[in-house]
Amino acid sequence: MIARRSILLGSAATLTLAGAGGGGAVRAASAACSPVRATGGLGLVVERASGSLLLVDRIARAALKRITGLGDLSHASLVYSPDERFAYVFGRDGGLTKVDIPAGEIAARVMQAGNSIGGAISDDGRLIAVSNYEPGGIRVFDADTLVQVADIPTRSKTVGLVDAPGRRFVFSLWDAGETWIADFAAGMTPRLTKISGIGNRPYDGLVTSDGRTYVAGLFGDDHLTALDLWQERPAPRPFLAGYAAHDETLPVYKMPHLEGWALAGDLFVLPAVGLHEVLWVDRRSLEEVARTPTHGQPVFAIARPDGRQIWVNFAHPLNDTVQVIDAITKKVIHQFRPGPAVLHMEFAPRGAEVWISVRDGNRIDIHDTRSFEKLGEIAAESPSGIFFAARAHRTGL
């Protein structure tokens, strides 16, 4: 008897494979089934004014569907499940929304706080943590059901929430100048490590892709602080002390996003608070090695995936411009003006293209990252954050 098994190929065909005794014959037959859409080329664009998401196909450079009903997305971010099936959207109004990517619809939604500022997913994909301004603290949810499994009160606004290896979350306290590590490796009651002496008013944080270094940006101090997460109890390590001490004080129109940091080879590239500069810092010694003057106050300084270029956008009133910096010369090699209110940039996973949200132009621009040629554009309603599904496989994103 010849053993046979079938392989489903979406709407195209079903292959029947004969066993070794059957000569390896392959028969193709039509099959009536629903089309299958892979998620690897998909992404979501936040449409902040309308509380909606635009599902996009990065490969086709096209919008697929608008998903509505997500509340206040004025400072929204999102993360993906490890299989890229679901996105978890963190709204400013405290809403946590689970979105089914292939279906293009909301799968679940809870109002978990009064004012939120981002979130993270654990490295095993089972826990979703949300960082809150009101009532403060961190709340943690089961990724499947969105049932709350833990509450970590802090008596402070929490910022800079990231995931770290070992089912850990790391976050900073704006009011207390501390960074906490919540370790969920042993279950739903986290082991907390509280580290004081971080600095005055930490406003954001980042973690390196290897999960080792956490950096807290400080609004109230003229330096940044790093923690080595490989240590049992990390000690605060201030760096870039006095980096703005000799510069004219400028009004800070918008806080830069450290999660839009760049790592180019062995160098961090960090946006400087209140300055028209990006700062180059050795990732091991944490010593400043260079500065690059920029068009305005940087908001995002993002590395192309190979680290060779840094793309920078700026705060109001100079937010119509993008500059590209070469990582070897540390000089601006290209500048262009997509239009009013450039808010975010997202690279294709291997860096061939960059997508740029132009909020007040109601569109997404797509550019080749080597020729800088504009490849296309997509209409969107007041777009801000752009998040491709490939983020599912990177720590800290």
Q: Decide if 178 is inside a domain.
A: no
Q: Decide if 343 is inside a domain.
A: no
- DSSP code at position 13: -
Q: Decide if 133 is inside a domain.
A: no
Per-chain mean pLDDT for the chain: 88
Digit-coded pLDDT (tens) for 19-29: 334 444 333 33
CB 54 within 8 A of CB 383: yes
Digit-coded pLDDT (tens) for 47-101: 999 999 999 999 999 999 999 999 999 989 999 999 999 999 999 999 999 999 9
Q: Decide if 136 is inside a domain.
A: no
Q: Give the residues across from 89 on adjacent strands.
A: 78, 97
Q: Decide if 308 is inside a domain.
A: no
pLDDT for the residue 125: 98
- The domain total for the chain is 1
pTM of the model: 0.89
pLDDT for the residue 27: 35
pLDDT for the residue 239: 93
C-alpha dist (Å) from residue 97 to 145, 163, 171, 383: 11, 19, 21, 18
Digit-coded pLDDT (tens) for 135-164: 999 999 999 999 999 999 999 999 999 999
33-36 long-range contacts (CB < 8 A, ≥24 apart) are: 33/8, 35/10, 35/11, 36/10, 36/11
Q: Decide if 25 is inside a domain.
A: yes
Q: Decide if 172 is inside a domain.
A: no
Q: Decide if 292 is inside a domain.
A: no
Q: Take residue 124 and report the two structure tokens written for it.
A: 């095993």
Digit-coded pLDDT (tens) for 260-317: 677 788 899 988 877 899 999 999 999 999 999 999 999 999 999 999 999 999 999 9
pLDDT for the residue 249: 53
Peptide bond into 234 cis (omega under 30): no
Domain assignment of residue 16, given as a range: 1-33
pLDDT greater than 70 at residue 252: no
